[in-house]
Structure 1
Amino acid sequence: MTPEALEAVRVQLFGKKGELARFQAVLRSLPPEARPAFGQALNAARSALEAAYGERKAALEAAALEARLAAEAIDVTLPGEPLAPGARHPLSLIIEEIEEIFVSMGYRVAEGPDVEWDRYNFEMLNIPKDHPAREMQDSFYLTEEMLLRTHTSPVQVREMLKMGGKTPLKIICPGNVYRRDTDDATHSHMFTQVEGLVVGEGVRMSDLKGTLETFARRLFGEGTKIRLRPSYFPFTEPSAEVDVTCHACGGAGCRVCKGTGWLEVLGAGMVHPKVLEAGGYDPERVSGFAFGLGVERIAMIKFGVDDIRQFYLNDARVLRPFAADLAGPPLATAEAGVPAGGRTAPEETGAGPAASGLE
């Protein structure tokens, strides 16, 4: 018997116009004294038929399952299909290279929460509630006092507090940050930063400059030079924007640097005394420097990417050109079906204050 035939029997017996329904109508027409016996017989017949129907249905379903398992059997001894080799994400490559550079100089990597308290994200960094610098960082607030961090600088405050006034402190803080920004070719509402902090006795601006020179040469090549231009950040004083010689022309001037010979890559400065105090340090005894850069901006410069959204599209073709090191080809290739990214000037890549936590 097929499942269809069994269903037809069910309808014939139990349907609204089936045999049992017909006997139910007969029951109503019987004299009252005859109804109990007839009703008991009818209920016994119904129970027997339902049990028989259930057994037959279960048997048919079991047979169907066995047939399906036999038809869909998998030979586990057959070799599997090979998977295409993967590749590290370009942002991961940049972060790991930056970490290797600074760890080799005695820094340690520190991390903190993406959901942060306002006092760590702003107030303890010399940015009170009425400070105009807050307009530079449109924020995603979850409550009145809690938000998605707008930079990784709160990690610096947390690490200073952990130290309890002890020195030296040398850390870098990589991580995601979030700002209410319109997504376009050079901006994203979420991006990645790496910030650095050094606190100790006798730390000077010349130490900052030497550190950044070493970092730039390791990241962009031995011939790289840097220059510091005066700037303003609420939590450093003095503050500077840091440029590196254009890696495309070596400083001679080209389309990449718009003829200037320089590319802006990060912000830096000496830690403000109020920030040192908030972190539990005596600014009369110790000093420090801090710096911050946007990882996407560095990746766009190094890999010749002209659209920051390439990093977040979840397109496997973006990863395909990358090998295990940073000496690989550009991010996008015509062969991969993604428009090749031409190298762009610093204004176009978004490198600068908005890319760093120092603003």
Structure 2
Amino acid sequence: PASLSSAADEARSDVKTEAARLEANLTLAEQALDRKIEIEARLIPEKEHEADRLTAELSELEKETSALNSQISEKTSEAARIAEGLEFQSRREAETHLAALKRQKEELQAAYEKAKSAYELCKGETDTLRGRADSLKSRLEGAPEIDRSAEQSKKEVLTGQKQAANAELDELSGRLHSNRAIFSALKEYTAELTEADGTRSWRKALSDTACGTVSGKEKIKLETYVQMTYFDRILARANTRFMMMSGGQYELKRKTEADSNRSQSGLELDVIDHYNGSERSVKTLSGGEAFKASLSLALGLSDEIQSSAGGIRLDAMFIDEGFGSLDEESLGQALRVLQELSGAGRLVAIISHVAELKEKIDRQVLVTKQKYGGSRAEIRV
């Protein structure tokens, strides 16, 4: 925009300079043409005619003055004759009449002086104009003949060039105005975009933090972060059961670091093996060990809910399958934990096909599939 504005200003200056030069040439040509036409066609004859007219008027005025002087003489003689032959009723009337005649004389004299002054002035102007006319004639004697049609053609060409230059200037001014408006709007849009981008940046940072997608950091969502606190409390209660079921060998531990910064983390579990002092993933547990870990977590969750829910008590627990993967020792450990829960006033129901459990569970509901469809339930106490 700055370079375009500079180019437009330079173009406007060049156009104005060329237009001024063309106008100056046109003006000089028109003035020369007008002077010659005025001198040849009007100025000298007109002034000579006016001088003749003024001379005639002066002559008339002189005649009128002479006539008026004659009238004054006649009136003076007549007044003297009348004065000799007539008697006024009073001296005052005679003086009044005489004063009137004097005023008339003075007025005529003033008119004469005015006409004389006008004549002298016109005569002076006529002499001056004649001198100027003679001077112009002497100057024009060696001047070339001016072709009026050629000069008119030049004038038309110059006028066309001037109009074209003005049209180009108007177009450049319009483009400059339009570009300035676009540049101003672009600046406003850029400012709004910068402000919006700043808002988007901090909102995205907040969103990435809440969604656990911050680059180079652990992928922990906000809800996962809140759940981690409750999960640690559940693990503390679950490990009490798990240590008992595993004979003090295993303890669950929440992983504090993810396997990679590209995966979500926060609720993964490791297991500590107290027999060899190692820590590994819960995925390495056997089927029976995994069942005991799951049962411990379920019991820990139950204990935590009852502890933090303000009077809510979970009086019943149903365990479906999972015992078939336990060896005899692990099965006994799991049953001891469940018997302790049952002895504490909680109903524990086990759904299983393991035959060894029949001998260790006193109260049973046996469900037998019928040969021709349906099932038969039998309660044993």
Question: Is the shorter-chain TM-score for this pair beyond 0.5, marking a shared fold?
Answer: no
TM-score normalised to the size of structure 1?
A: 0.20
When Rg is computed on C-alpha atoms for both structures, the one with the higher figure is: 2
Tell me which protein shows more helix as a share of its residues: 2
